[in-house]
């Protein structure tokens, strides 16, 4: 693997911008149609992309699908598809700004769950950062105030599911190849969303099919660039830059959807991001 930090960081920034655009498109389409339809069609395109990449990396689909942990792989694939549905519901109910501010807590949840799931040790410094980070989440939520919305549960639940998915990805990586994990992620997600989403099918106007096509292209492009990012630099180097998705998504929410950035959200998000970056850097140093 190459070790080009500058190129890796650049690719990561572009990837996060594309993912933010993907979130904006998902928010628009899910506001017009059932979220299951949006995610299902998105997964059809994603599965085709995954099959192409997996076959190229592994040599054949059978080789790409080979795993000694089929149940864990299937569960993590289904978990990610469910997480995407919940997060998009959060976009519609709460907006991009608030949803991403809360979702930014997922590295902290990863640190909390790393012990029970992977048997890793979390030191006092990281526990302190986790505690501070969740104080930031509480500042965003402002529980007990009239402005608190029950919809805030959606992005926090999505963050928890994504954290578990990330840990399971690290778990299966002990035995399986990246191509196998990628294969199971795309195919299982497509099967799960199709089995449920097909029952909620509704016609889509021509203009929105254009947005849907752009969403599919954005999703595949983002994942392709993410793969390229990890080919040129270690994940730990660029992971802190993943928080830029929050910045890009917030800008789209404000500029396109007329959302507002409240003071408490900005302060809470800053605390969460700072705590998350600390836990990532601390984990890397350990």
Secondary structure, 3-state, 111-143: HHHHHHHHCCCCCHHHHHHHHHHHHHHHHHHCC
pLDDT of residue 41: 96
Nearest Cα neighbor of 66 from 53, 54, 48 is: 54
Phi, psi torsion values for 123, nearest 5 degrees: -75, 170
CA distance 161 to 179: 22
DSSP state of 146: T
What are the structure tokens assigned to 53, written together? Answer: 């990449």
- Segments making up each domain of the chain, as ranges: 5-285
Q: What is the pLDDT of residues 224-239, one digit of tens each?
A: 888 788 878 777 677 7
Per residue in 116-149, is it b (16+ CB within 10 Å) or e — as a string?
Answer: ebeeeebeeebeebbeebbebbebbbbeeeeeee
pLDDT of residue 146: 42
Q: What is the pLDDT of residues 179-195, one digit of tens each?
A: 888 899 999 999 999 99
3-class secondary structure, 40: helix
pLDDT of residue 119: 76
pLDDT tens track of the chain, all 286 residues? 567 778 888 998 999 999 999 999 999 999 999 999 999 999 999 999 888 887 887 778 888 888 989 999 999 999 999 999 999 999 999 999 999 989 988 888 888 888 777 777 777 877 788 788 888 887 877 655 544 577 888 999 999 999 999 889 888 888 888 888 889 999 999 999 999 999 999 999 999 999 999 999 998 898 888 878 887 877 767 778 888 898 999 999 999 999 988 888 888 888 888 888 887 776 666 5
Nearest Cα neighbor of 105 from 162, 146, 150, 60 is: 162
Q: Which conformational region is residue 262 in: left (phi greater than 0), alpha (psi within -120 to 50 degrees), or beta? A: beta
pLDDT of residue 188: 95
Name residues whose C-beta falls within 8 Å of residue 276's C-beta, 6 or more positions apart in sequence.
Answer: 104, 105, 106, 107, 108, 133, 243
Q: Are 108 and 240 in contact (CB under 8 A)?
A: no
């Amino acid at each position: 693997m190459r070790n080009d930090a500058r190129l890796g960081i650049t690719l990561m920034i572009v990837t996060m911008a594309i993912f933010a655009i993907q979130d904006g498109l998902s928010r628009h389409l899910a506001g017009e149609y059932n979220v299951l339809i949006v995610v299902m069609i998105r997964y059809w395109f994603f599965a085709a992309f995954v099959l192409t990449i997996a076959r190229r990396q592994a040599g054949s689909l059978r080789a790409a699908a080979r795993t000694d942990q089929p149940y864990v792989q299937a569960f993590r694939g289904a978990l990610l598809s469910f997480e995407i549905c919940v997060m998009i519901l959060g976009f519609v109910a709460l907006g991009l700004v608030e949803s991403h501010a809360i979702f930014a807590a997922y590295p902290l949840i990863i640190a909390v769950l790393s012990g029970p799931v992977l048997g890793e040790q979390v030191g006092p410094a990281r526990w302190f950062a986790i505690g501070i980070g969740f104080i930031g989440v509480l500042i965003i939520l402002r529980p007990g105030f009239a402005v608190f919305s029950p919809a805030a549960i959606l992005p926090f639940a999505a963050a928890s599911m994504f954290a578990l998915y990330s840990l399971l990805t690290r778990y299966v990586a002990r035995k399986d190849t990246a191509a196998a994990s990628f294969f199971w992620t795309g195919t299982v997600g497509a099967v799960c969303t199709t089995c449920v989403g097909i029952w909620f099918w509704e016609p889509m106007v021509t203009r929105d099919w254009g947005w849907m096509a752009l969403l599919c292209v954005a999703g595949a492009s983002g994942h392709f660039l993410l793969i390229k990012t990890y080919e040129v630099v270690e994940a730990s180097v660029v992971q802190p830059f993943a928080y830029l998705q929050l910045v890009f998504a917030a800008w789209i929410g404000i500029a396109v959807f007329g959302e507002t950035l409240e003071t408490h959200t900005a302060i809470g998000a800053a605390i969460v991001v700072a705590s998350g970056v600390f836990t990532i850097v601390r984990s890397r140093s350990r």
